Amino acid sequence: MQAVLLCRSAHATSTWAGAASLTALLAVAASRASGLALTALTSSSDVHQRLSTSASYSSQSHGHSRSTSTVTVNAGTVGDGVDSGQLHVTVEPLSGVHESVSVISLSRPAARNAIGRQLLRELAEALDTVRQERTTRCVLVRSVVPGVFCAGADLKERATMSQSEAAEFVSRIRRTFTELQDLPMPTVAVVEGLALGGGAELALACDIRILGNGASMAFPEAQLGIIPGAGGTQRLPRIVGASRAKELIFTGRRVAGPEALDLQLADHVVPDDQVYNRALQLAEQIVRSAPLSLRQAKAAVNRGLDVDLHTGLAMEEAMYAQLLPTRDRLEGLKAFAEKRKPEYKGE
């Protein structure tokens, strides 16, 4: 079994000086909360140490083919709720026109990508991998299992857990999805087929959702004697509104692509054979932006939603101020004047 261990050089942390006291305080608090301290973003590049060489990863997706090196994560051990010898999650950094895009792929076909111990562990490691990548500007989360994005929790595995074990496992899912939400770079859920329960909550944790016409999302937990426990009761009403979220949770009904768009549960809905390509097109547009700008913009929006408008405006000012001394800002101005494409370095 192949594995790659990613190690990162330590980042020194310092407080940006020169802002007014309130602004500086907000800047430090916001940057620490979102992992976006400018000193950490502009420090020396990550050190990648390969313990073994990963096999070349080739995939075909609706007419789009690519072959790049793939970072694989821990495959687990037999006897701990795993499928022997099979990775459930891979991380693939793309190249060419899609350079700076990383793809997290779910692959557990026997269980329709149900979230078990191994898949959750590998997903957490995948998130840690892309979080450390300074060159990654956009992350796609997709399934390589036809007809399903994620069928939710592995209920067969859940049935073997004690009450306390089940509670801890759901807590781990919630933490992992929050880590996905808090990735510093933009994330896109590529939903083809079913996204049920925890699978729908996984999509909600991404910044943007692209669905196929035939895709559907549902929150059937109440019909199983529980509630959405991986953030669904909190993220869903923030996206579609309280009353619509309650209806979807109370009834557990499935929402297909076109209705999901009407409810703003989906941001884009396209024909089923174009979902991944549409995600790549969107990612290609995103990565044209400066990496530090993407991170600060995401942090400003996410953190601003949790505070009143005046505090949010102060946070925006502080995060804007952190970008003023960057080389990328000067490069953007220079490229604009010279009518050329900017070459951003994340510095």
Spot the catalytic one: 221, 266, 290, 299: 221
**201 in active site:** yes
Would you give the distance in Å from CA 175 to the centre of its chain?
13
Element (H, E) at 285: helix 275-286
Alpha helix (H) residue ranges in 147-267: 155-158, 163-181, 198-204, 232-240, 242-251, 257-262
Spot the catalytic one: 114, 153, 218, 283: 153
Distance of alpha carbon 13 from alpha carbon 91, whole angstroms: 28
Distance of alpha carbon 106 from alpha carbon 211, whole angstroms: 16
Closest CA to 88 of 70, 61, 66, 115: 115
**198 in active site:** yes
* Structure token digits, residue 241: 């509104």
Q: Between the CA atoms of 90, 94, 99 and 100, what dihedral angle is there, to the nearest 10 degrees? A: 0
Q: Which residues, at least 6 apart from 339, have a Cβ–Cβ distance to it below 8 Å?
A: none
Measured between alpha carbons, how far is residue 152 from residues 245, 283, 324 in Å? 18, 26, 43
Distance of alpha carbon 152 from alpha carbon 135, whole angstroms: 31
Spot the catalytic one: 201, 212, 245, 332: 201
Closest CA to 132 of 41, 204, 50, 55: 41
Spot the catalytic one: 197, 198, 232, 332: 198
**Catalytically active residues, by annotation:** 153, 198, 201, 221
